[in-house]
Structure formats: structure tokens, C-alpha cells
Amino acid sequence: MTRVLAEAFPDAHCELDFTNPLELTVATILSAQSTDVRVNLTTPALFKRYQSAADYAGADRAELEELIRPTGFFRNKATSLIGLGAALVERFNGEVPGKLEDLVTLPGIGRKTANVVLGNAFGVPGITVDTHFGRLVRRFGWTDEQDPVKVEHAVGALIPRKDWTMLSHWVIFHGRRVCHARKPACGACVLAKDCPSYGEGPTEFETAAALVKGPEAPDLIDLAERVRNGYKPGRGQA
């Protein structure tokens, strides 16, 4: 299944826009209860105004809240960002640390956010268990666990560590584009033959194909059609 996802999403990546570890950390905090699209619309002005940990530590709360308001829960997020800036200045010379044990001690950063930062800003393999990831790996039958940390460890035991970060991207891309929560596009899914949850969504190809989202939709639908006709992704022709 991971080989199939790798072929289906060769360009999978973190969909938050950033240029350095601090920007990714801030964007990931803002992404809670929001969408990457909304965050990416919000961060250009934010990153222009606040360019260092010290900037966040000394931020005017009202100004910061107004800038991040579109992402929701802006008061709590402002508290986290100001606290994050202060902690980075006080304990890490203003730099985002590259170790999990350090990241999770910072305001607004849990294990999920830490793994996003490690995997995408520092190249340290990490599994990001967001809503999509947890939902899909349970559908795939990879684990029955509900707790994100237990899910992370269970899936990590199945997949080589070097692939953890990309696995997160592949699964999250698949969840956003094909394996939707309410009506997965089962009939146009490249994993149809391997997924134990096949049939939770419409299985008629044309109906399912209409549910596939994103700029990759034509390629995903084409690959799913080829799989139906005997092509085996990741293994060459049948």
C-alpha cells in the first residue's frame, strides 16, 4: 500500500508555506482547527511583520491577534506564539531546536507539531498523526489505536524509519483528495484492491471519480483506471 501511495503522490509534501524552521513552527500552530489553505493566506503578512523569535516574544497582542484571526481560536494561538517566542529566546538562543524532546516543551507544540517541524524543516524522520492520518490508517487496518501517540508508534513499527515523513505526506494527501471522511471515492481509489474498508464510499467508477479532489485528480483517476485494468503500482505491469 505504501508503494502504491508513493506512485500516486510522487510530489507529496508539506502543504504549509514556509522558508525556515520558525515559520513552519508558527504555521503549524496556526493550522490547528484550520486549513492549510487558510493558514497560507494568513502567514505572508504575519511573517513579514514577525521575522524572529524575539519579534513574537515582544509582539503587541492586539496586533498579533488581528493578523491571525482568520485561522480561528486566535486568542489562544496568540498566547502560544508569544510564549513560543519568549521560550525560544530564553532557552534556545532564539532558534527552533531540532530535537523532539526539546520541541514538545515549547508553548503550543505537541508531538504532532514537533514531528511536522522535524520532518520538514530538519530532515529528521517523523510520523505526523493528524486527523486524516489517524482516520486512514484505521481504515487501512494498520492499527485500531485511537490515541495519536499509540497510532504513531504502531505505524512506525510497520514502516521503515527513513520513510516516516514521506508516509505522512502520502497518507494525508490521499485523505484530502480521495479517502474523504464522509464519502470516500472507493471506486476510483488506487488502493481499492488492498483496502479492507473498500465499499464505505461509492464503488461505481464514474460516481467515485467525481469525488476525487485536488490538482492531481486527473492523474489519480487515470492511475485508478489502470489499476482496475490490471496495472500494479510500484511493481510494474501485471
Chain-centre distance for alpha carbon 39: 13
Catalytic residue among 36, 60, 99, 112: 112
d(CA 29, CA 167): 21
112 included as an active-site residue: yes
Catalytic residue among 36, 60, 130, 163: 130
Residue 26: all three cell numbers together: 508558527
102 included as an active-site residue: no
Using CB atoms within 10 A of its CB, is residue 205 exposed (0-12), middle (13-18) or buried (19+)? middle
With contact defined as beta carbons under 8 Å apart, do 90 and 97 qualify?
no
- Residue 176 DSSP label: H
d(CA 74, CA 69): 5
Which sequence positions are flagged as catalytic? 112, 130
